[in-house]
Amino acid sequence: MADNFLAMLEDGSVRRINLLQNIENSIRDSFMNYGPKFVGDKDEIEFDGNYKIDVDEILYVTMALPDTFADVAANAIGIPVLDIEQDKIKALFWYEGGSYYFQNFDARKMLRNRNVLFYSNQTFDKLSSDAFIVDNGVHAVYKEGKFYFQSYPNANRIFNLSGFYQAATNEDLTLFGQHDCVSISDPIWFLQSNSVIRKQITLLQKSALLDEADTKKIKRGAKKFNVVVELDGDDKIIFPKDRKACKEILFYLNENYYEGPITKKHYRTNSKRAVNNGPEGA
């Protein structure tokens, strides 16, 4: 168990953290009392940036760990030991049973050059050496090729997940404006779009929904939800110089509007998960 506690540094390299035998179990408990339950028997939802999980669900991305993790399972004893005075920690993790249990780490958890007092024998003494805090809990788990998390910001601080979900760049916006079904009223203004619009465009481009779209049908269907969709002379969807209107159109195109199956009331959500592909031929 002595080689199960490790740190990932800001440069991506891994360091082993040596523990005295009398604290090994307490450090292990800080991870293992929470890690296995973090995933447990929850429903696994593949992350695409368009779904907010419930308490019985967990997000994941399929990815390989960096090459710097190769020795964690195969040769942990050969991993260099953490130098707390020189190494910059990005995350702490515990490895056990083929799973990696991660905690975020930042400068606030470093106890360096501070008046940190600890209580012993009814007296307070000052910490004389550098130290760091180990939380009780985990922010992410990696096992069997999947990186599991509940919070994208927390997970993204451990590994860069921008490749799985990122806001559209100016180049992406320009490309979107050139789509056969799209007409941008003011291309220069459109390049100043905020992150909400950019993220919705990323999702729309990933779905390729517009590639086979019937814009006349889209316009008719949008009326049902009071979303204004106008077409130009070539039946292209007009994105007006109006941020709110553009957002509503994008939310509709990304199928974020729905009708309650019982009440038939209309709703808009920014969190959705596909249930099925519908009946054959639908």
pLDDT in tens, 183-234: 999 999 999 999 889 988 988 888 888 998 999 999 999 998 999 999 999 9
Q: Give the whole-angstrom CA distance, residue 216 versus residue 282.
A: 18
Is 279 within the bounds of a domain? no
* Whether residues 17 and 107 fall in one domain: yes
What tokens were used for 89? 């920690």
Is 70 within the bounds of a domain? yes
* Whether residues 57 and 186 fall in one domain: no
* pLDDT for the residue 165: 72
* Whether residues 91 and 149 fall in one domain: yes
pTM exceeding the 0.75 threshold for the entire prediction: no
What tokens were used for 38? 């973090």
* Whether residues 125 and 195 fall in one domain: no
Q: Give the whole-angstrom CA distance, residue 258 versus residue 256.
A: 7
Q: Give the whole-angstrom CA distance, residue 19 versus residue 194.
A: 48
What tokens were used for 180? 């056969």
Instruction: Render pLDDT for 135-150 as a digit per residue (tens, 0 to 9).
Output: 999 999 999 999 999 9
Q: Give the whole-angstrom CA distance, residue 93 versus residue 135.
A: 11
Alpha helical stretches, state H, 21-164: 21-32, 35-39, 70-74, 152-158
Residues 61, 58, 68, 75: is their CA dihedral positive or negative? negative
Q: Give the whole-angstrom CA distance, residue 93 versus residue 99.
A: 10
Confidence of residue 254 (pLDDT cuts 50, 70, 90): confident
For residue 148, give its domain range: 5-158
Q: Which of 133, 158, 183 is the last residue of a domain?
A: 158
Q: Which of 134, 158, 182 is the last residue of a domain?
A: 158
**Average pLDDT of 159-175?**
86
* Whether residues 233 and 254 fall in one domain: yes
* Whether residues 56 and 79 fall in one domain: yes
Angstrom CA distances, 227 to 186, 217, 246, 248, stand at 20, 13, 10, 7
* Whether residues 198 and 107 fall in one domain: no
* Whether residues 153 and 175 fall in one domain: no
* Whether residues 40 and 118 fall in one domain: yes
Number of structural domains found in the chain? 2
Q: Give the whole-angstrom CA distance, residue 148 versus residue 37.
A: 12
Q: Which of 129, 158, 187 is the last residue of a domain?
A: 158
Is 282 within the bounds of a domain? no
Edge-to-edge strand ranges of the sheet holding 99-104 = 14-16, 5-9, 89-96, 99-104, 140-143, 146-149, 57-62, 43-46
Q: Give the whole-angstrom CA distance, residue 66 versus residue 12.
A: 8
For tokens 């519908």, name the residue: 278
Decide if pLDDT at 271 tops 60. no
* Whether residues 27 and 146 fall in one domain: yes
Name the more confident of 119 and 7. Answer: 7
* pLDDT for the residue 114: 67
